[in-house]
A and B are shown apart, each in its own frame.
Chain A
Amino acid sequence: MLPMFEVFGIPSQALFGQLLLGLINGSFYALLSLGLAVIFGMLNIINFTHGAQYMMGAFAAFLLLRYVGIGYWPALVIVPFIVGVTGIVIERLFLKRIQKLDHLYGLILTFGLALIIEGLFRNYYGSSGQPYGVPESLQGGRNLGFMFLPNYRAWVIAFSLAVCFATWFAIERTRLGSYLRAATENPALVRAFGVNVPRMVTLTYGFGVGLAGLAGVMAAPIYNVSPQMGSDIIIVVFAVVVIGGMGSIMGAIVTGFTLGIVEGLTKVFFPEASNTVIFVIMIVVLLVRPAGLFGRSA
C-alpha cells in the first residue's frame, strides 16, 4: 500500500482524486468537442444542438432501463444509434435547407432546436435529476492507497480514450476518412469522382451526433440525468473548441483531456476559479494565438 504524501501542502488523496475527476470531465470534453469538430469539418455548422443531443443520450439510456428493461451495456450501442438517427432527421429536415445561408443562421437554428429539445424534456421530467445507477459489473472501487478509484470512473476514461482514438484513426487513416476530408475541402470535385457527397454529409452529422449520444449514456450513471445537463456542458465545450482550434481531430481530443486535467488541478489549488479557468485560458489563447492551439489560421 502506497503511503499518503503531500504535494504543495495538499494531501495526495485530494490531489489525485481531483485529477481523476478532471480526467473524467476531460473525457466528456474530448468526446463532445470531437463530435463538434467532425460536424464542423464537414458541414461548416456549429451544432448548438450538441448539448441537447448529449442530454438525449442520457435520457434514452434512462428510459430504456426504466420502461424496456434494457441496461447499460446494450444501451451503449443502441443509444448512439437512436440519437444519431434523430440527428440525421434534423439534418435532412432543417440543415439542408439553410446550407446556402450565412453560417450564423445555422447557429441560431441549432440553438432553437436545442431550446425545443430541452424544453420538451423539462416539461415531462421536471428539472430535477433522474436516477440511473452504475451498472453492476462496474460498481465499487479500488483503494489504491493514495486515492480511492471508483471502477466506473476508470472505465469512462478508458472507453473515451478508445473511442477518440478509433474516431481519429477512422478519419485520418482510412480510405473512408480520406473521402470525408476531401469532401470537406472540395465537395464538387469529390462528387465528380462519383462519391455521394450529400449522403456522406448526412451520415457524418449523424455520426457526430451519435458521439454526443454515446457521451450521454456514459454520463448517465455519474452526472444525474437532467434536462439541463446539456446546456451546462456545451458552453464549456465551445470554449474547449475555440482553444483547440477546429481544424484538427487530434487537436480537439488533446485539448479536451488536457483542459479537463487543468480544471481538476485548479479545483485543488484554487477552487474558486475552477469553474472559470477554461474560459480564462480561452481568453489568453485568443490574445496570443487567435487560430487556436491546433488550428490553421483562417
Chain B
Amino acid sequence: MATLAAAAPVRRETEWSLAVGGAVLVIFLVAAPFALYPVFIMKALCFALFACAFNLLIGYVGLVSFGHALYFGWAGYLAAHAAKVWGLPPELAVLTGTATGMALGLIAGVVAIRRQGIYFAMITLALAQMMYLVALRVKMTGGEDGIQGVPRGRLFGAFDLSNEMTMYAFVVVVALAAFFLIYRIINSPFGEVLKAIRENEQRAISLGYKTDDYKLVAFVLSATLAGLAGSVKALVFQLASLTDVHWTMSGEVVLMTLVGGLGTIFGPIVGAFLIVAMENYLAPFGQWVLVIQGAVFVICVLAFRRGIVGELAARLRVRL
C-alpha cells in the first residue's frame, strides 16, 4: 500500500529549520493581536491545535480519521458544562474537556483500530455521526441551542479571562505548549515506531512491535489533544454547539491539514490559519464556502498533495 504522506528525505542537522519556524510562530503570536482581531487569532489557534492533533494520526501513523469532530465537539460540551453548570474554574473545565476527549478516543479507538485503511475511515465517520445524533437529543448539550453563556471565569483564581487580552495570552500559552508536546512525541522513540508503522506495518510487526497497541495510543493522544482544542474553544466563544460535532467539522480539519501539509509540524498550523481566514473572508458569500472547500480538497489531492508547508520544506530540503 503506497504511503499517505512520504516526508522528504532530510538530514538530522536541519533541526534549525524547526527552531526558525517556531521562532516565527512565537513572534507572530506576540505581535499579531495589535494588528489583527484577537478573537480571530484565538479561533485560528484552537483549530490549529485541532489540526495538529489530527495530523499526528494521519501524517505520522497514516490513519485517516474522518470523525475527529467527535472529540473536539464533545470535549467542548463537557468543558462548557463544567464551567457553566458545575461552576468549575477554567483550568478544571479545560481539563474535564480534555479528559472527555481521551475517554472517547479510547472507546472509539478500540472499535476502529480493528480495521484498516478505508474501513477505518468509514468507522470513524460513523462513530462521529452516531455521537452527533446523540448530541442532538441529549438534554445536556442543549440540542440546537447548544450550551450558551459559558462563563470564562478566573484562571487559577487570579486571572480574569473575560479580559480579551488575558484570554488571548492563555490560549497562546496552551497552544504553544501543545505544539511543543506534539513535536516531542513525534521525535521520541515512540514516534519513530509510529513512522515505521506508517511506512510498512507488516515489517514493524515482524520486528516484534505490537502495532495495534501503538496505533491505539497514538489514536488516544490525538483524541486527547483534539479535546484540549475543543475545550479551549468553548471558553473562547463561551458557546458549545452542534456545529462542533457535525461531520463537516471533521471534514474541515482534514482540509486544514491537507492544505497545510500532512506530516509536517507547522503545516496544520498554517492550514488552520488559512482556512479560518478564508471562511471569515467568505462569510458574506455564505454557501460558496462549501464549494470552495470542496474545490481545495480536489485540487490538493490532484496536484498539491504535500500542502503549503510540505512543498516549502521539500523545496528548501529542510524539515518543517
**Quick check: B288 and A123 within 8 Å, CB to CB?**
yes
**Quick check: B294 and A113 within 8 Å, CB to CB?**
yes
Select the residue from A100, A108, A119, A282 with max chain B CB neighbours within 10 A: A108
Is B149 part of the binding interface, using a Cβ–Cβ cutoff of 8 Å? no
Check A276/B122 contact, CB under 8 A, given A118-B290, A119-B288, A119-B290.
no
CB nearest to B247 among chain A residues: A235
Contacts of A238 in B (CB 8 A): 122, 125-126
**Quick check: A103 and B294 within 8 Å, CB to CB?**
no
The 9 A-B residue pairs whose C-beta atoms are closest, nearest first, are A112-B297, A115-B294, A119-B290, A119-B291, A116-B294, A279-B130, A275-B133, A239-B126, A112-B298
* Docked pose: A100 CA to B301 CA in angstroms: 12
Contact of A111 among B123, B129, B130, B251 (CB under 8 A): B251
Of the A-B pairs whose beta carbons lie under 8 Å apart in the complex, a sample of 28, sorted by A's number, is: A101-B2, A101-B305, A102-B1, A103-B117, A103-B118, A104-B117, A107-B66, A108-B254, A108-B297, A109-B302, A111-B294, A112-B293, A112-B294, A112-B300, A115-B291, A115-B297, A117-B294, A119-B289, A119-B291, A120-B291, A123-B291, A235-B125, A235-B126, A235-B129, A239-B129, A276-B130, A279-B130, A287-B114
Interface residues of B (CB under 8 A from A): 1-4, 64, 66, 111-112, 114-119, 121-123, 125-127, 129-130, 133-134, 136-137, 247, 251, 254, 258, 287-298, 300-302, 305
- Render A88-132 as a binary contact track against B, CB cut-off 8 A, 1 for contact: 000000100110111111011101111111111011000000000
- Render A255-294 as a binary contact track against B, CB cut-off 8 A, 1 for contact: 0000000000000000010011001101100110010000
CB nearest to A109 among chain B residues: B301
* Docked pose: A27 CA to B135 CA in angstroms: 27
Contact of B287 among A105, A119, A283 (CB under 8 A): A119
CB nearest to A103 among chain B residues: B118
Contacts of A114 in B (CB 8 A): 294
Contact of B130 among A103, A119, A280 (CB under 8 A): A280
Contacts of A279 in B (CB 8 A): 126-127, 129-130, 133
* Docked pose: A218 CA to B258 CA in angstroms: 37
Interface residues of A (CB under 8 A from B): 46, 94, 97-98, 100-105, 107-109, 111-120, 122-123, 231, 235-236, 238-239, 241-242, 272, 275-276, 279-280, 282-283, 286-287, 290, 298
Contacts of A102 in B (CB 8 A): 1-4
**Quick check: A104 and B287 within 8 Å, CB to CB?**
no
Contacts of A105 in B (CB 8 A): 4, 301, 305
**Quick check: A283 and B127 within 8 Å, CB to CB?**
yes
Contacts of A239 in B (CB 8 A): 122, 126, 129
* Docked pose: A238 CA to B247 CA in angstroms: 13
* Docked pose: A101 CA to B121 CA in angstroms: 16
* Docked pose: A1 CA to B66 CA in angstroms: 51
Query: Secondary structure of the A side of the interface?
Result: helix
Select the residue from B121, B290, B296 with max chain A CB neighbours within 10 A: B290
**Quick check: B297 and A109 within 8 Å, CB to CB?**
yes
Contact of B301 among A108, A117, A231 (CB under 8 A): A108
**Quick check: B123 and A94 within 8 Å, CB to CB?**
no
Contacts of B130 in A (CB 8 A): 276, 279-280
Contacts of B302 in A (CB 8 A): 94, 97-98, 109
Contacts of B294 in A (CB 8 A): 111-119
* Docked pose: A260 CA to B125 CA in angstroms: 20
Contacts of B301 in A (CB 8 A): 98, 105, 108-109, 112
CB nearest to B63 among chain A residues: A104
